[in-house]
Every structure is written in C-alpha cells, then in structure tokens.
Amino acid sequence: MDFWTLVSIAYTIGLSLILFIFAFLTFFIGYGGHRAKNRYGAISTIVTGSCLIIFGLYNLFFRDSSHMGFFPYPYNGFMVWWVGIVLLINGVFVMIIKLKKNKMDLQVKDSSSSTVVSKRKSGLRRYVEKMMIEDPYKQEIPFKMELVRKSFHLMGILVIIGYFGFFFLAPLTLLISDGVILLINQVEPAYELIWGDVSLFPYIIGEFQAVIDLTMMGLLGALMFALISDLFRILKGPEYSLLNFISRSILRNKEKNALGPQIYIMTGFVFSYMLYMAGIMHIRAFFAGILIACLSDAAAALIGRKYGKHKIILRSKDTKSVEGFIAGVLVAYIIGLIFVGPIYAIIGAVIFFLTDYFPAATADNILNPIFIPIGIQLFILLLGLPVGW
C-alpha cells in the first residue's frame, strides 16, 4: 500500500470522524431540547444526529468499483479541508461578534460618549442588538420572513441544475469538474506535492461519474456549512450564527435548543441521494421526492399564510388551512407527473399529504425528503411500471 493510498484512507476516516463528532453534538443538543420541554425540536435533532451516524458509517464501509465512501481521492480530502475552512470562517465571525459586543458594552458604560450614540448604527451592531435585546425566537413570524425561510427550499432546483444542467447549459457539477481538471494540469507540480500523482485523479474531461460524486459533494458541503453555523447558534448564542446573520431570518420557538429546518431538509437530501449512490434508488424518484419536499411544502405554507381562509386545527394544535393543503398536494402531483409519471405522482402527493396533515413528533422537513423518494421507489419496485414518460 503506497503513501497516497494511506493518505486517502486517512481522509476518509477523518471525514467519518467529523460526522460522528457532529452527531454527538446533535445528540447533546437534542438532550438539552428534551430537558427544555422542546419535544418536537429534540426528536428532530436526534433524528438528524442518527442520520449523521449513518452517513459516517456509509463513508467508512461503502465500496464500489470506482471508489470507497462518498468520494474518491482527492475529493474526500477536499471535503475535510472544506469543513476546516468553514470552522475557521465561523471562528473568525465569533471573534468579530465578541469584539463588537465588548465595544458596545464600553459605549454603554461611557455615559459621556453622546457622539457615539448619535452615530448611525452599523448593520452588524443592529444585528447583535436584535439577537441580544429582543427575543429572536418567535411563535409566529412575519410573512416576509417566511419567504426568506422558504427560500432555502429552492436548493432543490440548484440540485437539478447541478445534476441535469439547464437547457443548453451542461450540468454545473460537470463544468466544475472539468474546470478543476484544467486547473490541475496548469499547476501540476504544486498539485502533485500536496495530493500526489496527477494520473491518479479519478475523472477525465466530460466524465458523468463526476456529476454523480460532485452532486453529493455539493449536498454534503452545504449541510456542513449550515450545520456548523447552527451549532454555534445553539451552543454559544443566536448572535454567533453566521448563517443567521446572512439570512436575517427570525427564529421560531421550535428552534430553541434545537437545529433549524434548513438542517433537516439538507440532511434528508443527503440521505436519499446516498441511497441513489448505493444503487438502491432511481434518480427520478430522488428528484421527484426532494422537489415535492421543497416546493410543495413551500407552496402549502405560503399559500396558506397568504390566502388561507378555512382553518384546520390539527391534533398537534398547529393551525393550517384547506387552501394550503390543496396548493401543496397539487404542486406535489405536478412535480411527480413531470419526473416519474402520473401513477407514481399520486404516491408522492399522498405521502406528502400524510406527512403534512397528520401530526408527527419529527419535523416534516426531514421526513418528506426521505419518505417521499423511498415511497416512490417502493412502488416502482412493486408495480414495475415505466418511470417517467
């Protein structure tokens, strides 16, 4: 076994260890949420941690003809470095917030600094004050903030562009892969010093396997960015969340001592795509499922908030509307119709309705992108009908 093979194994083990550590932190947070009587957030967070354990095990033990784990070398190394970079960026942001808070404390103590008080407040200061003085966790949030929160659901469309492309545009992941190959050829000596012989690079120009692997790279990389930011929010305080600062979103009570909904839906994406990479799920079932989870949920929430007149009180005491349900189920069927055909579209719409209507102890943001693709795939196996048109 040569040196670079050992390096590849080390990166693979390192990535799994990172996933296990994050899983432990989510279990710790879930326990804290349970003690704080946030049962919904606690269970959803623990389910997320369980998925992270599964991801780590898959990365350690999955093997096929091309590579082991989620990524071939050096992309397993790229992912480990990405996690390190995200931790560094969030650490710098934490230091900036601490300095800002210290400066604000000094200004408050200095009663003679009237000129400071009269100055226009910076965006960073307004953000810190909002997170510290006001309670950032709300039972109900304004419709505009609901739009911001639901914008995370557009990630499903980005995954489509990454995998399939957009009309004349090639898959985004393929363009990235080809760009990396060209860059490596230009800086070959430097690359070989850090990553080994360039001839061992796993892809060639235009290879579709790169699309499959780099789509997972994007999904897992996005999850790591959002998760790390959310861990800082929970463990240190809402003002220390870089993602919270970027989005300016208002948090809900269900997210106190618990992970946010963006973590749940990204975790569901990674889980279902992992099943596709393992050869268990049809790619069209995956895309139908995640788009239904994204767009149908957003349509149900936004239409219900804006136009919902006929209210329904669920057993969980949540209030939803008939108009929201109709919009969500209709969008679910249309998406399924496009990707998997009219029969399997019914399955996707029914599963969405069940997870959205009936109360659950776990967030539907993590249930939908897992249960809907699996449900569609199960009926593909049972019925044996053609997928799509």
Q: What is the pLDDT of residues 307-350, one digit of tens each?
A: 767 676 665 556 677 788 888 889 999 999 999 999 999 999 99
Question: Among 170, 166, 164, 177, which Cα is nearest to 74's?
Answer: 177
- Can you tell me the mean pLDDT for 153-176? 87
Say if CB 225 and CB 86 are below 8 A apart.
yes
If one compares 185 and 324, the residue with the highest pLDDT of the two is 185
What is the distance in angstroms between the CA of the first residue and the CA of the last residue of the chain? 48
Q: What pLDDT is stored for residue 277 in this prediction?
A: 93
Question: Among 269, 263, 272, 257, which Cα is nearest to 226's?
Answer: 263
The mean predicted confidence, pLDDT, of the chain is 86
Please state, in angstroms and rounded to a whole number, the distance separating the CA atoms of residues 72 and 154.
Answer: 28
Of the listed ranges 40-44, 80-84, 149-153, the least confidently predicted one is 149-153
- Can you tell me the mean pLDDT for 214-235? 94
Residue 66's pLDDT band (cuts 50, 70, 90):
low
364 CB-contact burial (10 Å; exposed 0-12 / middle 13-18 / buried 19+):
buried
Q: What pLDDT is stored for residue 284 in this prediction?
A: 95
Q: Which residues contact 330 (CB under 8 A, 6 or more apart)?
A: 299
Structure tokens at 67: 């590579």
Q: What is the pLDDT of residues 48-60, one digit of tens each?
A: 999 999 999 999 9
Most confident segment among 117-126, 186-195, 251-260: 186-195
Question: How far from 123 is each of 91, 93, 102, 130, 242, CA to CA, in Å?
Answer: 20, 14, 16, 10, 14
pTM of structure: 0.90
Q: What pLDDT is stored for residue 343 in this prediction?
A: 93
Question: How far from 35 is each of 29, 149, 301, 338, CA to CA, in Å?
Answer: 10, 27, 29, 45
Of the listed ranges 21-35, 184-198, 299-313, the least confidently predicted one is 299-313
Domain ranges of the chain: 3-267, 281-389
Question: Among 128, 17, 169, 160, which Cα is nearest to 79's?
Answer: 17
Q: What pLDDT is stored for residue 222 in this prediction?
A: 94
- Can you tell me the mean pLDDT for 246-260? 80
List own/partner pairs for 301-307 with CB under 8 A and 24 or more apart. Answer: 301/146, 301/150, 302/143, 302/146, 302/147, 302/150, 303/327, 303/328, 305/143, 305/146, 306/143
Q: What pLDDT is stored for residue 178 in this prediction?
A: 94
Residue 39 has pLDDT above 80, yes or no: yes
Q: What pLDDT is stored for residue 163 in this prediction?
A: 93
Q: How many CA atoms lie within 13 A of 326 on its CB side?
A: 10
Residue 108's pLDDT band (cuts 50, 70, 90):
low
Q: What pLDDT is stored for residue 377 in this prediction?
A: 96
Residue 137 has pLDDT above 80, yes or no: no
Residue 116 has pLDDT above 50, yes or no: no
- Can you tell me the mean pLDDT for 292-321? 74
Which residues pair with residue 313 across a beta bridge? 319
Please state, in angstroms and rounded to a whole number, the distance separating the CA atoms of residues 243 and 96.
Answer: 14
Match 């103590």 to its residue by tokens. Answer: 109
| Sign, Cα dihedral of 117, 123, 124, 129 | positive
If one compares 298 and 229, the residue with the highest pLDDT of the two is 229
Please state, in angstroms and rounded to a whole number, the distance separating the CA atoms of residues 55 and 178.
Answer: 27
Q: What is the 3-state secondary structure (H, E, C) of the chain?
A: CCHHHHHHHHHHHHHHHHHHHHHHHHHHHHHHHHHCCCHHHHHHHHHHHHHHHHHHHHHHHCECCCCECCCCCCHHHHHHHHHHHHHHHHHHHHHHHHHHHHHHHHHHHCCCCHHHHHCCCCHHHHHHHHHHCCCCEECCCCHHHHHHHHHHHHHHHHHHHHHHCECCECCHHHHHHHHHHHHHHHCHHHHHHHHCCHHHCCCCCCCHHHHHHHHHHHHHHHHHHHHHHHHHHHHHCHHHCHHHHHHCCCEEHHHCCCCCHHHHHHHHHHHHHHHHHCCCCCHHHHHHHHHHHHHHHHHHHHHHHHHCCCEEECCCCCEEEHHHHHHHHHHHHHHHHHHHCHHHHHHHHHHHHHHHHCCCCCCHHHHHHHHHHHHHHHHHHHHCCCCCC
Residue 378's pLDDT band (cuts 50, 70, 90):
very high
- Can you tell me the mean pLDDT for 6-18? 94
Please state, in angstroms and rounded to a whole number, the distance separating the CA atoms of residues 145 and 249.
Answer: 6
Residue 79's pLDDT band (cuts 50, 70, 90):
very high
